[in-house]
A and B are shown apart, each in its own frame.
Chain A
Amino acid sequence: MLRASFKSLGVLLGVLILVMGTLCVPSFAQETIKIGFFAPITGPVAADGASSKQSVELAVKEINDRGGIAGKKIELILYDDRFDPKEAVSIAQKLIGLDKVVAVVSGSYSGPTRAVAPIYQEAKIPMVAAYAVHPDITKAGDYIFRQSFIGLVQGAAGGEAAAKLLGAKTVSILTMDNDFGRTLASSFRNQVEKRGVKILSTDTFPMGEKEFSPLLTKIKGLNPDVIYNTGYPSEGSLIVKQAKALGIKSKILATEGIDSTIQFFGIAGDAAEGVVITTNLNRDDKRPVVQNFIKNYKTRYGPAPDMVGASSYDALRVLANAIQIGGTKPDAIREALAKTKDFDGVTGIIKGYTKGEVLKPVQVQIVRGGEFHYFGEITDPEIITPPR
Chain B
Amino acid sequence: MLLQQLINALVVGSVYALIAMGLTMVYGVLRILHIAHAAIYALGAYAGLFSFLFFHNFLIAFLIAMVICALAGILMQQFIYLPLLESPRIVPLIASIGLFTFMEDLYRLVAGPYILPFPVNLGFSGIHFFGVTLTSHQLLILVVTFILLGFVWLIIARTRIGLAWKATAQDVETAISFGVNINKIIALNFTLGSALAAAAGVLIGIYYNSVYPAMGSVPAYKMLAIVVLGGLGSVTGTVVAALIIGFAETLMVGYIGFILPRDAIAFIALILILMFRPEGLFGRVNR
Question: Using a CB–CB distance below 8 Å, which chain A residues touch chain B?
Answer: 42-44, 46-47, 177, 203-206, 209-211, 213-215, 217-218, 221, 233-234, 237-238, 241, 245-247, 262-263, 266-267, 269
Contact check, B262 vs A209: say whether CB atoms are below 8 A apart.
yes
Out of A47, A177, A204, A215, which one reaches B254, CB within 8 Å? A215
Contact check, A245 vs B135: say whether CB atoms are below 8 A apart.
yes
Out of A42, A203, A209, A238, which one reaches B257, CB within 8 Å? A203
B220-255 residues at the A interface, CB under 8 angstroms: 249-251, 253-255
Determine the distance from Cα of A42 to Cα of B212 in the docked complex, in whole angstroms: 12
B5 surroundings in chain A (CB, below 8 A): 214, 217
Q: Is the interface of B mostly helix, strand, loop or mixed?
A: mixed
How many whole Å from B147's CB to the nearest CB in chain A? 23
A43 surroundings in chain B (CB, below 8 A): 113
User: Is B170 interfacial (CB 8 A cutoff)?
Assistant: no
B128 surroundings in chain A (CB, below 8 A): 247
Chain B residue with minimal CB distance to A248? Answer: B133
Contact check, B258 vs A177: say whether CB atoms are below 8 A apart.
yes
Question: Using a CB–CB distance below 8 Å, which chain B residues touch chain A?
Answer: 1, 4-5, 8, 12, 108, 112-117, 119, 126, 128, 133, 135, 208-210, 214, 249-251, 253-255, 257-258, 261-262
How many whole Å from A260's CB to the nearest CB in chain B? 10
Chain A residue with minimal CB distance to B215? Answer: A210
Contact check, A46 vs B114: say whether CB atoms are below 8 A apart.
yes
Contact check, B258 vs A204: say whether CB atoms are below 8 A apart.
yes
Chain A residue with minimal CB distance to B214? Answer: A44
Contact check, A267 vs B261: say whether CB atoms are below 8 A apart.
no
20 A-B pairs in the complex with CB atoms less than 8 angstroms apart: A42-B108, A46-B112, A203-B257, A204-B258, A206-B261, A206-B262, A209-B258, A214-B250, A215-B253, A217-B1, A217-B4, A217-B8, A217-B254, A218-B254, A234-B210, A237-B209, A246-B133, A267-B209, A269-B117, A269-B119
A217 surroundings in chain B (CB, below 8 A): 1, 4-5, 8, 254
B114 surroundings in chain A (CB, below 8 A): 46-47, 262-263
Known: A211-B262, A215-B253, A247-B128. A263 touches B8 (CB 8 A): no
Contact check, A267 vs B126: say whether CB atoms are below 8 A apart.
no
B8 surroundings in chain A (CB, below 8 A): 211, 213-214, 217
Known: A213-B8, A221-B1, A247-B133. A42 touches B113 (CB 8 A): yes
Contact check, A245 vs B126: say whether CB atoms are below 8 A apart.
yes
Given contacts A206-B261, A214-B250, A267-B210, 11 further A-B contacts (CB under 8 A): A42-B108, A42-B113, A47-B113, A47-B115, A204-B257, A209-B258, A213-B4, A214-B251, A233-B115, A267-B209, A269-B117
